[in-house]
Amino acid sequence: MGRYLIRRALFMVLVIMIVSFLTFMIFVKLPAGDPARRAVGRTTTPEQIENARLAFGLDKPLYVQYWRFLKGFIPYPGLWLDEDVYFSYGSFEPVKNELGRRIPITGILAIGAAVIWLAIGIPIGILSGVRRRSVADRAAMIFAIVGVSMPIFWLAQLLLYAFWFKLQILPSSGIPIGYVGWGGAVRAALEGRFILPWVSLAYINAAFYARMVRGNLIETMNEDYIRTARAKGLSERRVIYKHGLRGALTPVVTMLGLDVGLLLGGAFITETVFGLPGIGQLAVQSIGTNDFPTVMGVTVLGAFIIAIANLVVDVAYAFVDPRVRYT
């Protein structure tokens, strides 16, 4: 297990290097405008631009520039997202601070949505799988098809239109100024400001999960070991919920880890539609303004979270499936 974790950690370092290198190359070699000019604003003198160029190290060779950014990913005080390098061209403050403000928003959004979609998707999937071809199953699968097919930005707009604009029973969008950090995010959640974003994300995913659980359950119920369980004289309830579900829900662990990891890296569309100042919105904004240090920070943070999520999933699998061993 120890050796396995070390190997995975080394692999993670490699992933982060590749992701950061690609991001760096895209932004430095294929720039959509001069970062130095971008940083100093519209009305400037050539000296100011030149100063900015020196300050950002844009005059240095490529590998030196890349190393400046790469150093920022070493988790060591003074190096970790170094404020001189990871300094936003857009907001003129350290990227660290910006990320710190936004992580709680994205975190609450992702976790809350995941709880809701599990609570909806898994029971629906089980019901559908157990009562295959019943009216309930057909209804559930229509629910799922709609969810799988509907683009999230469209669903989000519909929900906003219905519950905020027409019915006026839910707050619209955004997080008011002054709702700072985790406390602020939780307060916004308690005020219902996350309900529509949660429901949008949850519906789309619940649809996927319901279909997956249904399919897995139907497949598992055809296994020989289910016949054995029936041959023992167990009740059908026990056969389904003890023997069938155990096999059918195992892949959910994998899916959930990866999906939540992906969302924690930023729910780009949902955050943008609902005006939630999370990581995803920051990514979209910083790419739009060519704010390279922020883009770099957000991208690598995303890569890091997804790599961690993968690791958590793989380790968790050993607890769910006794056949899995790590060496």
Partner 1 sequence: MAQPLLEVKDLKVHFQTDDGLVKAVDGVSYSLQAGETLGIVGESGSGKSVSSLTVMGLITPKQANITGEVFFQGQDLLKVPKDEMRTIRGEKISMIFQDPMTSLHPFYKVGYQISEAILEHQDISKKEAFDQAVEMLARVNIPHPRDRASQYPHEFSGGMRQRAMIAMALSLNPDVLIADEPTTALDVTVQAQILDLIDRLKSEFNAAVIIITHDLGVVAEHCDNIMVMYAGKAAEYGNTDDIYYKPLHPYTWGLLSSIPRLDEEKKERLNPIRGLPPSLIQVPPGCAFHPRCPYKFDPCDRDVPELLPVDGHHAAACHLSLADKEKIRDEEVLVRR
CB of 233 to partner 1, least distance (A): 3
The answer to whether the beta carbons of residues 254 and 276 sit under 8 Å apart is no
Question: Cβ of residue 321: shortest distance to partner 1, in angstroms?
Answer: 7
CA–CA gap between residue 128 and residue 214 (Å, rounded): 6
Shortest distance, position 247 Cβ to partner 1, whole Å: 7
The count of chain residues that interact with partner 1, using the rule CB under 8 A, is 21
In whole angstroms, how close is the CB of 7 to partner 1 at the nearest point? 24
**Shortest reach from residue 127's CB to partner 1, in Å:** 18
Query: Is 319 a residue that touches partner 1 (CB under 8 A)?
Result: no
Q: Does 322 bind partner 1 (CB under 8 A)?
A: yes
Residues within window 202-261 making contact with partner 1, judged by CB under 8 A: 223-225, 227-235, 238, 243, 246-247, 250
Judge whether 292 and 95 are in contact, CB under 8 Å.
no
CB of 201 to partner 1, least distance (A): 31
- Counting contacts by CB under 8 A, is residue 321 touching partner 1? yes
Contact by Cβ (8 Å): 220, 226? yes
Binding status of residue 323 toward partner 1 by CB under 8 A: yes
Q: Which stretch binds partner 1 (CB under 8 A): 10-18, 33-41, 73-81, 318-326?
A: 318-326
Per the DSSP assignment, residues forming a β-bridge with 87 are 94
Is residue 316 within 8 A of residue 303, CB to CB? The reply is no
Query: Smaller CB distance to partner 1: residue 7 or 246?
Result: 246
Residue nearer to partner 1 on the CB measure, 190 or 231: 231
Neighbour tally for 90: CB within 10 Å = 18
Nearer to partner 1, 172 or 228 (CB): 228
Q: Which of residues 85-124 bind partner 1 (CB under 8 A)?
A: none
- Cα–Cα distance, 16 to 302 (Å, whole number): 10
Of 8-16, 117-125, 294-302, 316-324, the segment contacting partner 1 by CB under 8 A is 316-324
Residue whose CB is less far from partner 1, 172 or 235: 235
Q: What φ, ψ does residue 76 adopt, rounded to 5°? A: -145, 135
**What's the CA gap between 212 and 216, in Å, rounded?**
6
Quote the crossing angle between the two packed helices 245-264 and 292-320, to the nearest 10°.
170
Q: Which is nearer to partner 1, 138 or 232 (CB)?
A: 232
Residue 152 and residue 241 in contact, taking contact as beta carbons nearer than 8 Å: no
Other CB atoms within a 10 A radius of the CB of residue 77 amount to 5
* Interaction between residue 47 and partner 1 (CB under 8 A): no
Backbone region of residue 51 per phi and psi (left: phi > 0; alpha: psi in -120 to 50; beta: other values): alpha
The whole-angstrom separation of Cα 106 and Cα 126 is 30
In the bound complex, what is the minimum distance in angstroms from residue 294's beta carbon to partner 1?
A: 46
Min. distance of Cβ 222 from partner 1 in angstroms? 11
In one-letter notation, the amino acid at residue 299 is T
Footprint of partner 1 (CB under 8 A): 223-225, 227-235, 238, 243, 246-247, 250, 320-323
